[in-house]
């Protein structure tokens, strides 16, 4: 009989990007050492632009000082993917899990993250699909509703997914989102006719299919107050 695996789900409010990065690094180290369970962080960021390992600055259409003037931060990261925006009303999940224990590689993991966001978007009656080759993410028509950017170090994941509940989409005008020209971004609020619950509910609606898809037997919920 297969041993039941537990997922620890830590819920935060708005967390500064740099603080979340430091927390993830610590958790990755703890997970590599086998000191903690597989964990998923659930949070939102203040207005933040991030670039991936490839450092494709040309996808940023304004200067760094302009970004500061509009109250946004810019961070360079080691995750996959190109450029994106994070902000309030965008649900972030950062799973810190061992892919070797699950028994999958990067491709299947990312497909699983896409499935998580597809499942949640479908709850609201929206016709959603994963991206074609080279367009990883979750789409409604040719508008992106969910993005993925992951780092895998010795089989342990960090970074993760960003799902647009109802962020201010104007922030995306200052970048070429995910480096893909001629495609737009959208949000659950824009695409659904249904009423939306509190963001916290939608965060839980993302965590539950995550646990199911990656075959966790149960979820240990942890509410972390302020970070």
Partner 1 sequence: MAFKLWASSTANALRISYNGTRTPLLALSISRCFSSVIDGFKYTPSHEWVKHEGSVATIGITDHAQDHLGEVVFVDLPEPGACFAKGGSFGAVESVKATSDINCPISGEVVEVNTNLCENPALINKSPYEDGWMIKVKPGDPSELDSLMGSKDYTKFCEEEDAAH
The residues that touch partner 1, with contacts defined as CB under 8 A, are 52-54, 78-81, 100-112, 114-115, 118-119, 122, 127-130, 133-134, 136-137, 147-155, 212-215
Which of 92, 118, 128, 178 is catalytic? The answer is 178
The answer to whether 85 is annotated as binding is: yes
Q: How far is the CB of 55 from partner 1 (least distance, A)?
A: 10
User: Which of residues 135 and 168 has its CB atom nearest to partner 1 in the complex?
Assistant: 135
Does 147 belong to an annotated binding site? yes
Q: What is the 3-state secondary structure (H, E, C) of 45-92?
A: CCCEEEECCCCCHHHECCCHHHHHHCCCEEEECCCCCCEEEECCCEEE
CB of 26 to partner 1, least distance (A): 17
83 belongs to an annotated ligand binding site: yes
Task: State in angstroms the smallest separation of the CB of 119 from partner 1.
Answer: 8
Question: Is residue 81 a known part of a binding site?
Answer: yes
Task: Between 72 and 138, name the residue whose CB sits nearer to partner 1.
Answer: 138
Q: What are phi and psi of 84, to 5 degrees?
A: -155, 175
Using CA atoms, how far apart are residues 49 and 43, in angstroms rounded to an integer?
16
What is the phi-psi region of residue 178: left when phi exceeds 0, alpha when psi lies from -120 to 50, beta otherwise? Answer: left
Helix (H, G, I), strand (E, B) or coil at 15: coil
Task: Find the largest Cα–Cα distance for the chain.
Answer: 57
Closer Cβ to partner 1, 63 or 215, answer by number:
215
Shortest Å distance, C-beta 223 to partner 1: 28
Phi, psi of 190 (to 5 degrees): -70, -35
Active site residue 10: no
**In the complex with partner 1, which residue's Cβ is closer, 122 or 220?**
122
Whether 204 and 225 have beta carbons less than 8 Å apart is answered as no
What H or E segment, with its residue span, contains residue 149? Answer: strand 143-153
Residue 84 among known ligand-binding residues: yes
Please report, in range form, the residues annotated as the binding site: 79-86, 147-149, 160-162
Catalytically active residues are 178
Please report, in range form, the residues annotated as the binding site for substrate: 79-86, 147-149, 160-162
């Amino acid at each position: 009989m297969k041993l039941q695996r537990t997922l620890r789900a830590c819920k935060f409010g708005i967390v500064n990007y740099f603080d979340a990065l430091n927390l993830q690094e610590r958790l990755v180290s703890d997970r590599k050492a086998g000191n903690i369970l597989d964990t998923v962080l659930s949070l939102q960021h203040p207005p933040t632009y991030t670039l991936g390992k490839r450092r494709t600055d040309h996808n940023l259409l304004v200067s760094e000082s302009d970004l500061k003037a509009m109250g946004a931060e810019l961070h360079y990261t080691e995750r996959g993917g190109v450029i994106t925006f994070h902000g309030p009303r965008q649900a972030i999940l950062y799973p810190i899990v061992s892919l070797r224990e699950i028994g999958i590689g990067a491709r299947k993991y990312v497909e699983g993250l896409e499935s998580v966001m597809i499942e949640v978007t479908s709850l609201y009656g929206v016709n959603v699909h994963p991206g074609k080759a080279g367009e990883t993410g979750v789409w409604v028509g040719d508008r992106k509703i969910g993005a993925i950017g992951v780092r895998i170090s010795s089989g342990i994941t960090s970074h993760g997914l960003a799902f647009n509940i109802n962020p201010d989409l104007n922030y995306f005008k200052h970048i070429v989102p995910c480096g893909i020209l001629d495609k737009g971004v959208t949000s659950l609020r824009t695409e659904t006719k249904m009423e939306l619950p509190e963001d916290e509910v939608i965060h839980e609606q993302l965590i539950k299919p995550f646990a199911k898809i990656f075959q966790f037997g149960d979820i240990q919920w942890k509410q972390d107050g302020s970070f």
